Structure 1
Amino acid sequence: MTRLSPTEYLDHIRSESARFRAVLAGCDPAARVPACPDWDAADLLWHLGEVQWFWSQVIGRRPAAPREDDPRPDRPGDTAGLLAFFDESSGALVAALESADPTEPAWSWADEQRVGFTYRRQAHEALIHRLDAEQTAGTTTPLDARLAADGVAELMEVMYGGEPPAWGRFEPGVGQVDVRITDAGETIRVRPGTFVGTDPESGKAYDGPHLLVVPEPSGAAAATVAGTAADLDAWLWKRAGDAGVTWDGDEAARDGFLAAVIPPLD
């Protein structure tokens, strides 16, 4: 229920990227990024530029998957070069998405293998890194409430959750949790638990906290976490504390939820 239209996602990619660029253009390139302390402002500028370059390539070459030996851009050595690279990358991403139907097949690292995944994911990528840029520069502006509400949903559905692949399994934990987005009138119910399995391609074993969205909830949840879309989105992305987040209900269900959303996201 939180999804935006492809046109709206694309508008947000444009506007959030433009704000990100404007903030970092006037920021000390050595300023530390509060949410990513290993990065400075120049690293942040390079990161989003490289991300947008990568996804422009994915969409431009759809439906082929990227290859490990594909050439990648070299990092420019100064702020002017980084800004120029970002302008080129961001423009290429917007142009690629403008020329693609969201329903077309396209590679992604998630279950959704369509262009629409990149529309949504890159709108949220730009939003959160715009917030990073503003926090780095010491001046913040509000998050768009509708986009932030969808950001909370994406975190539950994709970033911290999702159906396990065929080689893995989900072991349910204690209770279910309602994630209540107060200003959007939306509630997303999730079941905390554990994802277990070994990826046959990489040989990597997984055994850790995970969330599954409950598509048709019935009865009351064991616990509820509530906040505005902006407060929840920034908190879940570790870009803000939990001052705007409230809890109610069973502590074991709460602990299971918190265990699943503890890992930081870049």
Structure 2
Amino acid sequence: MSDLELVKHIGTESTRFRAVLQSAKPDAAVPTCPDWDVADLVWHLTEVQYFWAAVVRQQRTTLAEVEAEDLRRPTGFPELLRTADRCARDLVEVLRRTPPATPVWTWAEDQSAGFVLRRQAHEALIHRVDAECVTGARTPMDAALAADGVDEALRVMFGGAPSWATLTVDEHATLRVVSSDTGHRWAVNLARYAGTDEEGHEQEGPTLAIAPVDHLLPAVATVTASAADLDCWLWGRPPLGDVGLSGDVAVLAGLREVVAAGVQ
């Protein structure tokens, strides 16, 4: 997916997000984010977009260098929506004029404005789904964007290990994730990470190892659905269609263990 398409999706998904929630009650519960009400959901996306616009605009390469004034949460819901609109438009404009290769701080291995661009397109998309789950007015997700979201979820959110950890891959626990409508495929192995974190604590847990390319080698389990349904399933949001799970029950349970950890 091109950088220009990602920028466009940030604007489109953010606009849809606000439009869906304009008529919602600010204190209505968000079923996909149990600790939040509608106002909390709007404020969350607003803060996120405000922060990353500041990071990219200032082109800071460490978190300590980022100079972002505290964004005050409006007390009224209409003003909150106006603030959300302003922050979304600012993020889109900053990302549109910043080359993706520009070095900036991120929490990931990829320290570039391009990472922020991709991440914020999917942040807006998934929270648009959250908004629609409040009102029940679900609309289609762009298939290409959703497929890219699956790739990001598997490789960035669920895959690999921290820099301080050792990754151990189970060569026999093989899965194939298949997007039935776009034709994308991912070869996945269950794995575990273990090591001592920056604060000196021993850490270990389940993760995934994603092959750079799926060479269609045999897999003991398969997950198949449309790109949109896969994206929702990986993010813990309700798919609109079926997600087909077949093959080795233990390997599928291992995948569920990783996915159940969740990403907000």
What one-letter code is carried by the residue in structure 2 that aligns with 1:33?
V
1:136-178 deviations in whole A, cap 9, x for unaligned?
A: 122111111111111111110101113x344211122342110
Contact 2:176–2:219, Cα closer than 8 Å, also in 1: yes
After superposing the two structures, state which structure 1 stretch, 106-115 or 211-220, moved more: 211-220
> Equivalent residue for 1:172?
169
Query: Hey, what does 1:59 align to over in structure 2?
Result: 56
TM-score by length of 2: 0.93
Q: CA deviation at 1:256?
A: 1.7
**Aligned-pair distance for 1:208?**
1.1
In the other structure, the counterpart of 1:249 is 247
Root-mean-square deviation (Å): 1.7
Aligned counterpart, 1:231:
229
Aligned to 1:215: 212
Question: Aligned equivalents of 1:181 and 1:220: distance in 2?
Answer: 17
Of 24, 40, 44, the residue aligned with 1:43 is 40
Q: Distance in 2 between matches of 1:52 and 1:216?
A: 32
In structure 2, give the amino acid aligned to 1:89. C
Aligned residue number for residue 159 of structure 1: 157
Q: Is the 8 A contact 1:225 1:248 kept in 2?
A: yes
Aligned match for 2:74, one of 69, 73, 76: 76
1:234-253 deviation digits (Å, cap 9, x = unpaired):
11111115961112222222
How far off is 1:62 after superposition? 1.0
**2: CA distance, partners of 1:29 / 1:229:** 31
2:154–2:210 Cα contact (<8 Å) kept: yes
Question: For residues 63-100 of structure 1, what are the alpha-carbon distances to aligned partners after superposition, in whole Å with 9 as ceiling and x for unaligned?
Answer: 33233885421211110221121122111111110110
For the 8 Å contact 1:160–1:260, the answer to whether it is kept is yes
Bigger drift between 248-257 and 179-188 goes to 248-257
Deviation, 1:210, is: 0.3
TM-score by structure 1 length? Answer: 0.93
Q: Look up the equivalent residue of 2:30 and give its one-letter code.
A: V
- Unmatched runs of 5 consecutive residues or more in structure 1: none
- The answer to whether the 8 A contact 1:189-1:213 is kept is yes
Counterpart of 1:10, as a letter, is V
* Conserved 8 A contact 2:146-2:228: yes
Deviations 1:77-132 (A, max 9, x none): 11022112112211111111011001111111111111111111100000000011
* 2:223–2:246 Cα contact (<8 Å) kept: yes
| Matching of residues 1-266 of structure 1 within 5 Å | 4-67=1-64, 71-162=69-160, 164-173=161-170, 174-200=172-198, 202-218=199-215, 219-240=217-238, 244-266=242-264
Residue 205 of structure 1: how far off its partner (Å): 3.5
Give the ranges of 4+ consecutive aligned residues of structure 1 lying more than 6 Å apart after TM superposition: none
Query: Any conservation in 1 of the 2:177–2:224 contact (CA below 8 Å)?
Result: yes
> Matched residues in 1 for 2:47 and 2:14: separation?
13
* AA matched with 1:81: E
The 8 Å contact of residues 235 and 242 in structure 1, kept in 2 or not, is answered as no
Residues 54, 67 of structure 2: 8 Å contact kept? no
* Residues 37-66 of structure 1: CA deviation (Å, up to 9, x unaligned): 110100001000000001101101113323
**What SS does the aligned partner of 1:175 have?**
strand
- Matched length: 261
> Taking structure 1 as reference, are residues 44 and 255 closer, same or farther at Cα in structure 2, changes over 3 Å only?
same
